[in-house]
Structure 1
Amino acid sequence: MSKTLATKGPVSERMGSIRRVLWIVLFLNLGVAAAKYFYGVASGSASMQADGIHSVFDSAGNVVGLVGIALAARPADEGHPYGHAKFETYASLVIGVLLLLAAFEVGSSAVGKLASGVYTAEVTPVSFVVMAGTLAVNLGVTTYERRCAKRLKSEVLGADANHTLSDALVSIGVIIGLVAVALGFPMADPVMALVVTVAILATAYDVFKHALATLSDRARIPEEDVRAAAVAVPGVRDAHRIRTRGTEGEVYADLHVLVDPSMTVGEAHALADEVEDAVRARFPNVADTLVHIEPDDGHTE
C-alpha cells in the first residue's frame, strides 16, 4: 500500500522554482566573474584573476545545475520507477568536480608566481571598488540561494550556495591581499591566492559530503518522528521497521504498523491510507510512503 506524488503539482512546481533560481544566479555570477577577472588581468593581480576564475566555475556550476534539474524533473518510467530525482545529486557531484578543477587552476598559478618571485599586482582605488562591489553581490546571492535551498530542500541549490559563499570568502581574502600589496608586501597577492585554493577545496569537500549522503541512502527523517506521525492515527497501535531514503526534496519512506488482529482487509487498507496521509502531512518532502500492515498479536520481530 503506497501513495506517490503526482508528477504535476508539488514536485514539478519545486523543480520549476529551482530552475528559476539557478537562472537568476547564473547571470549574476557571470557579471561578477567578468568584473573580477578582467580587472585582475588589467592590474596584474593574481588573486583577483583567481577569484574571477572561481566565479566562472560558479557559473559553470549553475549550468550543470540547470541540466541536472531538467533531468531530475522527468517523471518516473519503466526503467526508473522511483523517478529521476537523484540526477539533482549527480549535478551536485559535478559541481564538486568543477571546484576541484578551479582549485588546481588557482593553486598552480599562485605557486608559479611564488616560485618565480615575480609579483605584478598593481593596487588602485578601483581595485577595491571592484572587489567590494562583487563581494556585496556574492553575499546577496548566497543569502538568497541558501534560503531557496532550505525552502525547496534542493541539494543543487545548497551546493551552489556554498560555492558562492566560498567565492565571497575568497573575495574577502583578496581584499586583504590587496591591502598588504598596497602596504609594500607584493608576495601577499599569490599567498592569498593559495588561501583561495584552500577555501575552494573546503567547499568541494562539503559538496561531496552532502551528495554522498544521498547516494549512500542515508536516513532522511528520524525514525521516531515518522513513528510519531503514524501512531497519531486512530487504530495504529505501534510502528516499527521504519526506513527513509532519497534526496532531501524527494524522500521515500516505508514502515510497518501494528493494528487490531480482528480488523478486516478493507479496514486495514483504509487505515494504511490514513497513515500515508499523516506522514505526508507532517513531512511534505515525502514523495512515496509504503505501509505494511501487521496484526498486533505479540509475534512481531
Structure 2
Amino acid sequence: MGKTLATKDAVSARMREVRRVLWVVLLLNLAVAAAKYAYGALSGSASMQADGIHSVFDSFGNVVGLIGIALASRPADESHPYGHAKFETYASLAIGVLLLLAALEVGTSAVGKLVAGSYTAEVTPVSFVVMVGTLIINIGVTAYERRCGKRLKSEVLAADANHTLSDAFVSIGVIAGLVAVALGFPMADPLMALVVTVAILVTAFDVFKHALATLSDRARIPEDDLRAAALSVTGVRDAHQVRTRGTEGEVYADLHVLVAPEMTVGEAHGLSEQVEAAVQARFPNIVDVLVHIEPDDGHKD
C-alpha cells in the first residue's frame, strides 16, 4: 500500500512540474509571437508575419498541453482503471493538428503573394533586431523545455519542444529572407514563408509519430533490461513474456517469473513483491508491475 501511494505521489509531482513548465513556455511564446507578428504587419513582411503566426500556434499548443495535463492528472477510477495518462498523448496529437492548421495558413498566404506578385516587405535594422532577439528566446525556450521533457519523460513537453525548435529554425529562414530582400530580391520573402510551411509540416510529422507510438502500445523498455532487473532478485530462475506499454512517463509492465517448484504460495508472493520493487527501483517511470509466478518445471506458459 505504501509503495502504491508513493508511486501516485511521484506521478502527481511529475504532472505539477510539467504544468509549471508549460505555463512558463506559454508566456514566453506569447511575447515572441506578439513581437514578430506586430512588426511583420507594420513592415509588410510576409515571412515575419508567418513566423509570428507560427509562434501563436506554439502558444495554442501550450494551452492544449495544459488542458491535456489537467485531464491526465486525474486519478484512476472505475471507468479508467489504468488512469488517464494517455490524455497527455491526445494533447500532443492536438498540437500536431494545430501545426497542420498553421502550415495551411502560412502556406496559403505565401502562395497568394507569389501569385499576385505582391512583395511588400520593408527591411530595416529593427527587423533584424526583432528576429534575432526572438530567435535567442526560442533557442533558450527549446533547450529548457527539451531538458525538462527528458527529465520528466513528458510527451507533451517533448512535442512542444520540437514545435519551438522548428520556430527557431523558421526564424533563421526569415532572417535569411530579410537579408535577400535587403540585397534586392523581394520575392525571397514569400519564398521563405514557404520554407516556414515545410518546417511546420516536418514538425507535425514528428509529433504524430511519437504520439502514435504510445497509442499503438509500443514497448517502452527493452525486454532484456527489464528481465535483468527481475533476475537480480534472489530466487528468480528466469523471466519471460516481458511486456511494457503506456506513455514514457507512466509505463505499465508485466512479466512471467520462474521459481523453484517447491516454493510455497506465501514465499512466491513475497518474491513477486521483491521483483516489483526491483523493477520499479531500476525504472522509476514504471507505475505498475504485474508479476505472474510459474514453477520452473520445464514448461513455460
TM-score by length of structure 2 reads: 0.98
Separation (CA, whole Å) in 1 of partners of 2:232 and 2:29: 47
What is the CA-CA distance between 1:5 and the residue it aligns to? 5.6
2:142 equivalent in structure 1: 142
Structure 2 residue identity aligned to 1:161:
A
Alignment of 1:243-258 (within 5 A): 243-258=243-258
Structure 2 residue identity aligned to 1:129:
V
1:18/1:152 contact within 8 Å kept: yes
Q: Which stretches of structure 1, 4 residues or longer, exceed 3 Å deviation after superposition?
A: 3-8
1:7/1:75 contact within 8 Å kept: no
Secondary structure at the residue paired with 1:255?
A: strand
Matched, 1:212 2:219: no
Structure 2 residue identity aligned to 1:141:
V
Matched, 1:241 2:246: no
Q: 1:1-20 CA deviation, whole Å, 9 max, x = no partner?
A: xx746574100000000000
2:171 equivalent in structure 1: 171
2:221 equivalent in structure 1: 221
1:265 equivalent in structure 2: 265
2:69 equivalent in structure 1: 69
1:126 equivalent in structure 2: 126
Which segments of 5 or more consecutive residues in structure 2 lack a partner in the other structure?
none
Secondary structure at the residue paired with 1:292?
A: strand
1:4/1:289 contact within 8 Å kept: no
Structure 1 residue identity aligned to 2:98:
L
1:276 equivalent in structure 2: 276
Matched, 1:196 2:199: no
2:22/2:66 contact within 8 Å kept: yes
TM-score by length of structure 1 reads: 0.98
2:54 equivalent in structure 1: 54
2:7/2:287 contact within 8 Å kept: no
1:76/1:84 contact within 8 Å kept: yes
Separation (CA, whole Å) in 2 of partners of 1:172 and 1:105: 20
Separation (CA, whole Å) in 2 of partners of 1:9 and 1:159: 25
What is the CA-CA distance between 1:118 and the residue it aligns to? 1.0
The structure whose RCO (Cα within 8 Å, separation 6+) is larger is 1
Separation (CA, whole Å) in 1 of partners of 2:10 and 2:85: 13
Separation (CA, whole Å) in 1 of partners of 2:5 and 2:255: 18
Separation (CA, whole Å) in 1 of partners of 2:158 and 2:258: 38
1:245/1:252 contact within 8 Å kept: yes
Separation (CA, whole Å) in 2 of partners of 1:138 and 1:152: 21
Structure 2 residue identity aligned to 1:277:
A
2:10 equivalent in structure 1: 10
1:5/1:288 contact within 8 Å kept: no
Secondary structure at the residue paired with 1:256?
A: strand
Identity value in percent: 82
Secondary structure at the residue paired with 1:77?
A: coil
Separation (CA, whole Å) in 2 of partners of 1:273 and 1:240: 17
2:51/2:170 contact within 8 Å kept: yes
Alignment RMSD, CA only? 0.9
Secondary structure at the residue paired with 2:141?
A: helix
What is the CA-CA distance between 1:116 and the residue it aligns to? 0.3
What is the CA-CA distance between 1:299 and the residue it aligns to? 1.4
What is the CA-CA distance between 1:141 and the residue it aligns to? 0.1
> What is the aligned residue count?
299
1:5/1:11 contact within 8 Å kept: no
What is the CA-CA distance between 1:226 and the residue it aligns to? 0.5
Separation (CA, whole Å) in 1 of partners of 2:191 and 2:80: 49
Q: 1:9-44 CA deviation, whole Å, 9 max, x = no partner?
A: 100000000000000000000000000000000000
